[in-house]
Structures are given as C-alpha cells and as structure tokens.
Amino acid sequence: MPKTYTNSPLTNITKLAPLSNGYGARTEDIIFFTPHCYVGQVTAERIANTFYPKSRKASCNYGIGLDGRIALIVEEKNAAGTSNSRWNDERAITIECASDSTKPWAFKDVVYKKLVALLVDVCQRNGKTKVLYFGTLAKTKDYLNKRKDNEMILTEHRMFAAKACPGDWMHARMQKLADDANKILQKQPTPTPTPPTPTPTEDLYRVRLTWDDKDSQKGAFKDYDNAKKCADANPGYSVFNSKGECLYTSPKKEKFKVRVTINDLNIRAGAGTNYPVVGVTGKGVFTIVETSPGQGSVKGWGKLLSGKGWISLDYCTRL
C-alpha cells in the first residue's frame, strides 16, 4: 500500500464527515473509482452538509456540485461508506455528483467534465495510467487476479445493492468516462505525488447575512454546529467558512402565495428530500410562511401555512 495518501488539488472546499460515517483508515490499495448520483441539483456545500451529521451513517470521498465545484468530504487515506459494500469502498474513491431529481438522473455537462478531471487526477496521484470498465460485478471480480498495478477500474453502486445509482444517465456513460479519462492519461505523464495539504485547524465559521456584509456578523465559531445554531436563531443568516463560501442558510420567514403546478406534489416533514413524506397535495393555491434551501430542490422549499409540512418550490409559481 502507498505509505502516503494525498487529496485532490481540484478541491474547492473541505468539510470532513465524521469517520464513523465510513470505515476509518483505508486497509486496501485504491483500485476502484465509483461515481454516485446525488439526487438534486445542489451545491458542493450542500452535499458536504448532508454527510456532516453523525446520524447520517454514510459518507463519500468527494462531492461535485451543480456548478462543478468539488468538496472534500472524506480524505483519501480513509474509506468512505457510500456503496453498501465495504469491500468496494475500502478500495474505492467514491464521488457524489449533483444530478436531476427525476429519471434518468442526468448530470450537468460541467459536473461530468469535472468528474473526468477528478478521475484523471486520482489516477495520476495513485500511479494509474489506464481506466477499465466491465459493466458487471462478476466480470469486475473475475478480472482482479489479472489486473495490472497501473490500472484503475470503474465500479457502480448498483453492482452492490438494488439501487439505480449512479442513475441511468451516468450508467450509460461509464465506458465513455473510462475512454475520456484514458485519452488524457495517454497524453500526460504521471506526476510525482505531492504531500497532502493539511486541513486548517483554526478555521472559523462566521454567521452573517452575506459574506461581504461584515457589520451583520452575529458571531465567529470554531464549531460548525454552534455556528448553525446561531444562524437558525437569526432567520435568513448564513454560515460561511474563512474563504467566504456559504455552508448553510437558515430558514427565512416570509409570507406569500404559490400555485402548485402538478397533481401529486409530496409534502415533507422538513426542507429536503432527505425528510420523510408526510402527505401529498394536488394543484391549487397555497400560502408559504417560511423558506429554506434543501436537498432535492433548486428553488428551495416552502413551509405551508397549514403546518402540514414543506413543499418543493420547483413545482410552484409564485403569485
């Protein structure tokens, strides 16, 4: 095994998930690369926030947001818990990619291109010059005894569980992903691995209305959870890291009416598809009393005046 693991220099933000959300220190060489679909066109910050709570019991090495920005969530020296398979994740770099919320769960072009770039980078830093894809778990395992040290193999979540992940759109492009990476790897020499960049230990989380509005700051915290509590106590405020990147925005109280444009819109217990469905509503006019960003919605979520729960504003027209 390599004595030293490095993390990708393509990373834009770092927000590490608890090690208990994965398998801890990696015990196998990195020989797999496993893209996943994160259902919802969301930011890298939102993906990282999803895996931050210990209660999540899941994680990934990287998250690629809808604009192509990358979050480091589990360092490469550690195995993330992503694919319902410790056997795979101990050997894999796993990546959650922002996708559409409905079938075939397509990625934006900028996300796919950044996935190719990340695959190439992972290969170069781990001494791999060729990417292979076999399509099934059986064929993948059969090849392992023949695999050469310079080869990286693509795997999929659906190989290990009854899931659609990485979505039909990406599943149909897995061989293209290998081909696109190989075109670059064959043209570029493998660089010498560089030491990992240490994560800052004195990073402060600042609570403000906007990053540029320093006068609105409510506090600066070493602990993210304390910063989030402060933001929640001040509706509309956000948590920023020391680079000015927004990590969380608290729900904002505002009252307005919307017209639901579909017949079967789910009502959820909270602002996001990670909350359970508590009801369904059809077309009609409804009053929203609070808004919040959340998983699975581009326009955000609105809390119903009735108190029944939250609906995605993607399927609403504001009146």
- CATH number of the domain to which 270 belongs: 2.30.30.40
On whether both 144 and 233 belong to a single domain, the answer is: no
Number of structural domains (the chain) is: 3
Q: Is residue 115 part of a domain?
A: yes
User: Is 197 among the domain residues?
Assistant: no
Print pLDDT tens along the chain (319 aa): 445 789 999 999 999 999 999 999 999 999 999 999 999 999 999 999 999 999 999 999 999 999 999 999 999 999 999 999 999 999 999 999 999 999 999 999 999 999 999 999 999 999 999 999 999 999 999 999 899 999 999 999 999 999 999 999 999 999 999 999 999 998 755 454 554 444 444 578 899 988 888 888 999 998 888 888 998 888 878 888 888 887 877 877 788 999 998 988 899 888 888 778 888 998 999 999 988 877 777 788 899 999 999 999 989 999 9
pLDDT at residue 200, as a whole number: 43
Q: Are 81 and 20 in contact (CB under 8 A)?
A: no
φ/ψ (deg, to 5) at 308: -70, -25
pLDDT of residue 189: 52
Q: Are the C-beta atoms of 40 and 99 separated by less than 8 Å?
A: yes
Torsion sign (Cα): 183, 189, 194, 197: negative
Nearest CA-CA partner of 81 in 49, 108, 105, 51? 51
In a domain, 191, yes or no: no
Residue 233 CB-density burial (10 A; 0-12 exposed, 13-18 middle, 19+ buried): exposed
Q: Which residues, including other chains, have CB under 8 Å from residue 247's CB and lie 6 or more apart?
A: 13, 15, 45, 48, 49, 205, 224, 238, 239, 240, 241
Q: Are residues 263 and 235 in the same domain?
A: no
Identify whether residues 23 and 142 lie together within a single domain. Answer: yes
Contacts of 318 (CB under 8 A, 6+ apart): 256, 257, 258
- Considering the domain architecture, whether residues 45 and 107 belong to the same structural domain is answered as yes
Question: Do 266 and 213 have their domain in common?
Answer: no
Instruction: For residue 187, count CB atoms less than 10 angstroms from its CB and return exposed for 0-12, middle for 13-18, buried for 19 or more.
Output: exposed
Of 185, 213, 236, the position where a domain reaches its end is 185
CA–CA distance, 277 with 264 (Å, rounded to integer): 12
Residue 61: count other Cβ atoms within 10 Å of its Cβ: 29
- pTM for the whole structure: 0.61
pLDDT score of 134: 96
Residues 6+ apart with CB under 8 A from 177: 35, 112, 115, 116, 119, 131, 133, 154, 170
In a domain, 192, yes or no: no
Domain identity same for 67 and 154: yes
Distance from C-alpha of 2 to C-alpha of 7, rounded to nearest angstrom = 13
Q: Tell me the CATH number at 102.
A: 3.40.80.10
Alpha helices (H) along 53-108: 86-89
Do 163 and 289 fall into the same domain? no
Tell whether 200 is covered by a domain: no
Alpha helices in the chain (DSSP H): 44-50, 86-89, 109-125, 137-144, 167-171, 174-185, 224-232
Task: Yes or no: say if 105 and 170 are a contact pair by the CB < 8 Å rule.
Answer: yes
Based on the fold, state whether residues 313 and 264 are members of the same structural domain: yes
- For residue 78 the two structure tokens come to 């550690």
In a domain, 193, yes or no: no
Domain-located, residue 199: no
36 and 55 share a domain?
Answer: yes
Which domain, by its residues, includes 101? 13-185
Which residue, 156, 185, 214, sits at the end of a domain?
A: 185
Q: 67 and 156 in one domain?
A: yes
Return the pLDDT at 116.
Answer: 97
Domain match, 243 and 265 both: no
Q: Residue 282 half-sphere exposure, CB side, CA atoms within 13 Å?
A: 1
In the prediction, which pLDDT does 199 show?
44
How far apart are the C-alpha atoms of 237 and 211, rounded to whole Å? 10
- Specify whether 48 is located in the same domain as 87: yes
Quick check: is 40 in a domain?
yes
